[in-house]
Amino acid sequence: MNIFNTPIGWLSIEEENAQLIDVEFRQRKTSIKPSPTVLEKKVEQQLNQYFEGKNKDFNLPLNLSGTAFQQRVWKALQKIPYGQVKTYGQLAKELNSSARAVGNACRANPVPIVVPCHRIVAANGIGGFAGKTDGPVVERKRWLLKHEGVKY
């Protein structure tokens, strides 16, 4: 696991068998491996480039653990272009599902930002993020959307 600081706080990244399996928001920096793997360095580099406005698409090997439905949602999220959003309902309609199911899959996303669940919003506002509907977590979502040029 590698931990590094970003404009929206500390992030930890974890890989397994040279595939990204987890990106997690941290309250503070905790212990870190002395030597990040090649993939962890690549993930950190691409995330830093994203935060600098130089990277709009991630090109990383992913191994995301989830149900078949969650996998469908996460693939659909990756098709939403930088700077654009869809509502939970719009994505649910595309997937022949419900908005609540889409929201639950977004909450279970193991690699936020890389799989851009922040680009899914409510029909009447910003919606939730990482299972929260207010507070600093939702402010991270607001920051990410603003960073991409979307006002919420």
Active site residues: 117
Nearest to 102 by CA among 83, 117, 80, 124: 117
Pairing label, strands 19-26, 9-16: antiparallel
Strand, coil or helix: 132: strand
Largest interatomic CA distance in the chain: 46
Q: Angle between the 68-77 and 99-107 helix axes, to the nearest 10 degrees? A: 90
* 21: number of Cβ within 10 Å: 15
